[in-house]
């Protein structure tokens, strides 16, 4: 079959972008090829907001037939956190048929080489980018994110993370040359001479286990890292967030096919309610790589049991912000208020424990007592979310009943500084929208420890009274070491305190944001520049994205012969 | 304490070498800074052969006091495979004292940065290189290798592998810049601007578990990869091969100290007879990286149980050579004879199964039947080892009674084509020196499979009759997939057969040598150019040396703040 898209065309189309991505991961300066303003969409073949909505609406209640081999039925059942039944049905796979079919195209994909794989991946990302507004709806109605966030985080930011993985994968594969001539002098005798060929070979089939809250953002790095290194990729979405990844698989299959490769290099494994196929899949011998985002329990299970695979996990942590002193009290409060509110705190990067000295802090507004800081922060959150329209635009919907239950129970853990408030969504009355709760805890009380040393995923944070900055740093150290952390924040005007906190973060391998008071938040990272997670503490065994994230997804086979 | 050796001096001394190493791993052309001719030693401060022997003799019967904290006794007990009691005693460590002491110097080592760590490692290698002739004796009298091999493989080749690891570690750490200024446009508003700092941080203490046969060659990659990435390193030598690694630790401690770092960043963990401390060490929480060479059983145990650590294993495999046809029958036979004989086949890379079509092969000397090929190979080995002096110089001594027992039992597995012969060592009458045995097996007989599908470490190989080249390729595939392989060889003049074998090696991730008939052997790899193992089949989960071998020994912590 002649390819509709030749490698030559794709290289011409995407090589300049790849080169920019390679430069970005080297300098880590700001770069993104994916616009994050809605107005940028609607031109050059991309859907605008209305067209994206129309495309999404047209999907509802339909069967998404991906043309996968081994389809033995259809599964559906997604309900939007906004209350809408999606009614989209997806293929259910007979693994004994699908997995061998996925392997069939791997040889040609391997032989295509790193550059062709990279530009095919970039073409997939380009097609996804064109449908960003459709994906935004799909992410919104599976994760519960508010539209703007679903659009940005689920669209351009996710695409950035995917492209970043492609760039790392590409550069890793070309570190070893395709061939080498090796000539070793032998004194007066003829030199020894060998011709060597080095071939990057894939490990097998990569499995991506998606999460409910960030199906594309957390799914793309592993998907593209595995695909770009020559592996096939099976995508097992979260049962409540299938659509964004099913559309991704659909696009990938179409591009692969047009480029002359086997569409089955990428496939979907949707599951029946309660089927729990992740464990079965994760231990199949064909699965040699796993990328997982989700609970610590299952992540630990994967690391212990999927021994035939390279396992990359992003699990849960307990994120800390130390509030010791600040030169911009208002900026600090508004920055923190935003981080606590965005997507109802349902981010793995949302701060949970705010450690504040019990004797209060120094600020540009004069000294503030512990209670004042807690109350002012509560007021800042209240102010940010006081208008229901803005609150809905920031908070999104509570993603599942467990989060709601934790939120409702949080009031019993200590003194409530800020109570959660129910907000009605004007367009989606079925949405569960809640403002965050802030609870005061005394860090020296053993009974408080059970609360602040556990992850309470959702819009719950604790203002924890600590004895001193050193006490805060030691609690930070213990929290990161025992529970892990995706993010750490600190507010301090003291060089000594800053150095102490920095040293804890270096020793415990936690990513640190210092004194953020403007429009960058501790819970956000930018692809090509910020690392997401460190891979060095219990919250995640990998970082997005670095050499270690891609280097073991392929191996180099050497074929040598006498020259 | 002022450093006797400043970073500045060390950079001036070693940066040119580091740059050459970086170039070599990029081009993979021939390069080595460590001479492999004995005459090169004795100048510029290095010991010549006689001085090396004298230095080794002076060590015998002494206590090697490394000045380690937590030394709670002394252990000895090494007996050379050549029959000499070494009588060297080594510190035994109280881990609860030693491990914390090893951590104490890690902050300064981390803060020194990648370049200083690299040049300190290169200084350690330079001091080891100067004592190569002393190490040669130590390796000879622990591994049983013949002197020339102990000198070359235990000296310059091991040092090359160590330097290669330093080069990979260095380049991996500088892929991310130390700092970045990130400025994100915000339309008409002021851009968002962050100053970012990126710090490579170590994982903790690396544990190197050495092997009996190649204490330095297999020990140095992990040791230097971990040290160069900022970790402390605890070296647990094989109880029968302590001296080469104890001397290595001694040199490392001295250089670290002279360079102003804590000597305890490198330490030795020698064990009492039967103490079996590897399991205890491997699961200590302080141990975050493990490099292991040895049996599959313990390697698998480490991978399953040392969950707190990154585990790099080189285990056992079953190496295959397919003999299908050749344009240089004599060259093939002599090349194979050498590979089977070198160090009595006690290399993880020695071929075991020689797959030969039962109807014979085509050669430049006319067609040869299966029996003729087997007999001619036996004759080639006999010819190579006919002279006892040369036999002793090639074979070395049998390293332990298990190898001898396997050799003696091999005759019962099938028809013996070449019987093992006992050789007397003129200088060391206690040495057990044996020529290899070759046994014929029928690949189609189920009872033969138990023999050729198991690793028979030592001077035992099987001439296995197969039905065809395709049959050979399928047996190769099954062997690599089920048992792993460090090396694969093939002799064929047929492009189709070559392609079939190559494809099996690419799919099963095995390193392939084609048609070697001259002075390069399937069981040898050269640092900076050849990969040792692939990390993609059961014989080893890592390759020496590539990005994946170093990338996860450190993590990058980002500290960001508003610009």
Residue A501 contacts residue A476 (beta carbons within 8 Å): yes
What pLDDT is attached to residue A459?
A: 97
Instruction: List CB contacts of A234: < 8 A, sequence separation 6 or more.
Output: A98, A99, A102, A205, A206, A207, A208, A266, A267, A268, A269, A281, A287
CA A497 from chain center: how many Å? 31
Q: Give Cα separations from A395 to A188, B114, B450 (angstroms).
A: 78, 43, 64
Cα gap A172→B37, rounded to integer Å = 35
Q: Which CATH superfamily is domain B320-514 in?
A: Aldehyde Dehydrogenase; Chain A, domain 2 (3.40.309.10)
Which of B125, B158, B153, B126 lies closest to B140, judged by CA? B153
Residue A43 at interface with chain B, using a CB cutoff of 8 Å: no
* Interface A:B, Cβ pairs < 8 A: 183
Relative to beta strand B433-434, strand B422-423 is: antiparallel
What pLDDT is attached to residue B399?
A: 96
Phi-psi region of B458 (alpha: psi -120 to 50; beta: other; left: phi over 0): left
* CATH number for the domain whose boundaries are A40-176+192-315+543-562: 3.40.605.10
For chain A, how many residues are written? 563
Identify all chain B residues contacting A551, using CB atoms and an 8 Å cutoff. Answer: 546-548, 551
Q: Do B556 and A203 touch (CB under 8 A)?
A: no
Q: Which residue of A has its CA nearest to B310?
A: A541
Q: Is the pLDDT of residue B3 over 90?
A: no
What pLDDT is attached to residue B155?
A: 98
Mutate to test the interface with B, among A182, A192, A303 (most CBs of B within 10 A): A182
Residue B517 at interface with chain A, using a CB cutoff of 8 Å: yes
Which of A237, A202, A203, A205 lies closest to A220, judged by CA? A237
Cα gap A351→A319, rounded to integer Å = 5
CB atoms within 10 A of CB A181: 13
Q: Which residue of B has its CA nearest to A31?
A: B184
What pLDDT is attached to residue A273?
A: 85
Residue B169 contacts residue B228 (beta carbons within 8 Å): yes
Q: Do A559 and B505 touch (CB under 8 A)?
A: yes
Residue B489 contacts residue B519 (beta carbons within 8 Å): no
Q: Do B518 and A110 touch (CB under 8 A)?
A: no
Cα gap B38→B152, rounded to integer Å = 9
Which of A552, A226, A518, A71 lies closest to B549, judged by CA? A552
The pLDDT tens digits for B536-553 are: 999 999 999 999 999 999
Phi-psi region of B65 (alpha: psi -120 to 50; beta: other; left: phi over 0): beta
* Residues of chain B numbered 94-133 and touching chain A (CB < 8 Å): 107, 110
Q: Do B514 and A559 touch (CB under 8 A)?
A: yes
Nearest to B560 among A175, A513, A552 (CB): A513
Q: Is the pLDDT of residue B1 over 60?
A: no
A474 CB-contact burial (10 Å; exposed 0-12 / middle 13-18 / buried 19+) = middle
Q: Which two tokens stand for residue A339?
A: 């981080």
Which of A548, A545, A547, A520 lies closest to A532, judged by CA? A545
Return the bridge partners of B182, or none.
Answer: B194
Cα gap B108→B202, rounded to integer Å = 11
Residue B464 contacts residue B452 (beta carbons within 8 Å): yes
Q: Which two tokens stand for residue B191?
A: 């851009």
Residue B187 contacts residue B255 (beta carbons within 8 Å): no
Residue A517 at interface with chain B, using a CB cutoff of 8 Å: yes
Nearest to B529 among A182, A503, A526 (CB): A182
Distance from CA of A491 to the nearest CA of B (A): 10
Domain coordinates in residue numbering, chain B: 7-27+36-177+201-315+543-562, 320-514
Cα gap A294→A279, rounded to integer Å = 14
Residue A182 contacts residue B529 (beta carbons within 8 Å): yes
Residue A513 contacts residue A485 (beta carbons within 8 Å): no
Residue B280 contacts residue B267 (beta carbons within 8 Å): no
What pLDDT is attached to residue A2?
A: 58
Could you say which DSSP state residue B260 is in? T
Identify all chain A residues contacting B307, using CB atoms and an 8 Å cutoff. Answer: 303-304
What pLDDT is attached to residue A97?
A: 98
Residue B418 contacts residue B436 (beta carbons within 8 Å): yes
Which of B123, B171, B174, B162 lies closest to B3, judged by CA? B123
Q: Which residue of A has its CA nearest to B307?
A: A304
The pLDDT tens digits for A506-544 are: 999 999 999 999 999 999 999 999 999 999 999 999 999
What pLDDT is attached to residue B55?
A: 98
Which of A453, A451, A420, A458 lies closest to A438, judged by CA? A420
In order, the DSSP letters of A257-278 are HHTTS-GGGEEE-B--TT--HH
* Residues of chain A numbered 286-325 and touching chain B (CB < 8 Å): 303-304, 307
Could you say which DSSP state residue B24 is in? H
Nearest to B511 among A515, A516, A557 (CB): A557
Specify whether domain B7-27+36-177+201-315+543-562 bears CATH 3.40.605.10.
yes
pLDDT cut 90: percent of chain B above it: 98
Cis check: omega of the bond before B545, within 30 degrees of 0: yes
Which of A71, A345, A117, A123 lies closest to A230, judged by CA? A117
The pLDDT tens digits for A260-277 are: 999 999 999 999 988 999
Residue A440 contacts residue A412 (beta carbons within 8 Å): no
Q: Give Cα separations from A464 to A349, A374, A449, A457, A498 (angstroms).
A: 18, 9, 10, 17, 19
The pLDDT tens digits for B427-463 are: 999 999 999 999 999 999 998 999 999 999 999 999 9
Report chain B's terminal Cα–Cα distance, integer Å: 37
CA B460 from chain center: how many Å? 21
Distance from CA of B236 to the nearest CA of A (A): 24
- Which residue has tokens 């091969």? B241
Cα gap B3→A292, rounded to integer Å = 47
At B292 the three-state DSSP class reads strand
Q: Which residues of chain A have pLDDT under 70?
A: 1-2
Return the bridge partners of B512, or none.
Answer: A559, B488
Which of B409, B532, B510, B520 lies closest to B460, judged by CA? B409
What pLDDT is attached to residue B2?
A: 59
Could you say which DSSP state residue B361 is in? B
Q: Do A517 and B562 touch (CB under 8 A)?
A: yes
In order, the DSSP letters of A329-375 are HHHHHHHHHHHHHGGGG-STTS--EEEEETT-BEETT--B-HHHHHH
Mutate to test the interface with B, among A547, A549, A553 (most CBs of B within 10 A): A547
Q: Which two tokens stand for residue A343?
A: 């997507």
Output B40-45 pairs: Cβ under 8 A, ≥24 positions apart. Answer: B41/B132, B41/B133, B44/B130, B45/B130
Identify all chain B residues contacting A110, using CB atoms and an 8 Å cutoff. Answer: 506
Residue A518 at interface with chain B, using a CB cutoff of 8 Å: yes
Average pLDDT value for residue range B387-395: 97
Which of B265, B269, B217, B224 lies closest to B242, judged by CA? B269
Q: Do A543 and B530 touch (CB under 8 A)?
A: no
Angle, nearest 10°, between helix axes B106-130 and B7-27? 70
In order, the DSSP letters of A405-425 are HHHHHHGGGSEEEE---EE--
At B489 the three-state DSSP class reads strand
Cis check: omega of the bond before A545, within 30 degrees of 0: yes
CA A297 from chain center: how many Å? 18
Return the bridge partners of A354, or none.
Answer: A321, A463
Cα gap B261→B10, rounded to integer Å = 13
Q: Give Cα separations from A256 to A120, A125, A250, B30, B322 (angstroms).
A: 7, 12, 10, 39, 36
What pLDDT is attached to residue B273?
A: 85
Do B320-514 and B7-27+36-177+201-315+543-562 have the same topology in CATH? no
Mutate to test the interface with A, among B533, B560, B563 (most CBs of A within 10 A): B560
Which of B93, B119, B129, B106 lies closest to B251, judged by CA? B129
């Amino acid at each position: 079959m002649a390819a509709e898209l030749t490698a030559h065309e794709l290289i011409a189309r995407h090589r300049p972008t790849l080169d920019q991505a390679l430069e970005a991961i080297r300098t880590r300066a700001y770069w993104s090829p994916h616009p994050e303003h809605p107005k940028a969409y609607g031109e050059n073949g991309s859907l605008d907001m209305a067209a994206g909505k129309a495309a999404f609406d047209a999907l509802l209640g339909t069967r998404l037939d991906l043309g996968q081999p081994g389809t033995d039925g259809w599964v559906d059942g997604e309900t939007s956190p906004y209350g809408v039944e999606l009614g989209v049905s997806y293929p259910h796979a007979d693994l004994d048929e699908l997995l061998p079919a996925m392997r069939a195209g791997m040889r040609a994909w391997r032989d295509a080489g790193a550059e062709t794989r990279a530009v095919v991946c970039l073409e997939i990302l380009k097609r996804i980018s064109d449908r960003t507004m459709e994906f935004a709806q799909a992410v919104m109605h599976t994760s519960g994110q508010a539209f703007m966030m679903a659009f940005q985080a689920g669209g351009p930011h996710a695409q950035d993370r995917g492209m970043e993985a492609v760039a790392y994968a590409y550069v890793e594969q070309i570190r070893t040359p395709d061939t080498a001539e090796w000539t070793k002098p032998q004194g007066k005798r003829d030199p020894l001479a060998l011709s060597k060929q080095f071939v990057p070979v894939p490990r097998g089939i990569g499995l991506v286990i998606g999460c409910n809250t960030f199906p594309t953002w957390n799914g793309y790095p592993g998907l593209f890292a595995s695909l770009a290194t020559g592996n096939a990729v099976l995508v097992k979405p979260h049962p409540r967030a299938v659509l964004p990844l099913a559309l991704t698989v659909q696009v990938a299959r179409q591009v692969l096919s047009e480029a002359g490769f086997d569409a089955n290099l990428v496939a979907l494994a949707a599951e029946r309610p309660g089927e729990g196929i992740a464990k079965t899949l994760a231990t199949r011998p064909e699965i040699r790589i796993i990328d997982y985002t989700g609970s610590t329990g299952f992540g630990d299970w994967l690391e212990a049991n999927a021994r035939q695979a390279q396992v990359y996990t992003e699990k849960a942590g307990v994120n800390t912000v130390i509030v010791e002193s600040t030169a911009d009290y208002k900026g600090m409060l508004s920055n923190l208020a935003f981080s606590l509110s965005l997507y109802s705190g349902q981010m793995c990067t949302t701060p949970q424990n705010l450690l504040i000295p019990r004797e209060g802090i120094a600020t540009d507004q004069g000294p503030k007592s512990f209670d004042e800081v807690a109350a002012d922060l509560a007021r800042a959150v209240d102010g940010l979310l006081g208008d229901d329209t803005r609150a809905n635009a920031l908070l999104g919907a509570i993603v599942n009943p467990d989060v709601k239950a934790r939120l409702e129970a949080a009031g019993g853990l200590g003194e409530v500084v800020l109570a959660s408030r129910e907000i009605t969504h004007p367009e989606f009355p079925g949405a569960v929208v809640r403002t965050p709760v802030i609870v005061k805890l005394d860090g020296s009380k053993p009974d408080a420890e059970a609360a602040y040393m556990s992850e309470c995923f959702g819009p719950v944070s604790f203002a924890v009274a600590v004895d001193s900055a050193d006490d805060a740093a030691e609690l930070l150290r213990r929290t990161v070491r025992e529970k892990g952390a995706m993010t750490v924040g600190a507010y301090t005007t003291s060089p000594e305190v800053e150095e102490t906190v920095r040293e804890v973060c270096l020793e415990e391998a936690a990513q640190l944001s210092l004194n953020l008071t403007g429009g960058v938040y501790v819970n956000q990272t930018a692809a090509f520049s910020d690392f997401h997670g460190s891979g060095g503490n219990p919250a995640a065994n990998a970082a997005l994205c670095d050499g270690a994230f891609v280097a073991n997804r392929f191996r180099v086979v050497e074929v040598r012969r006498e020259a």
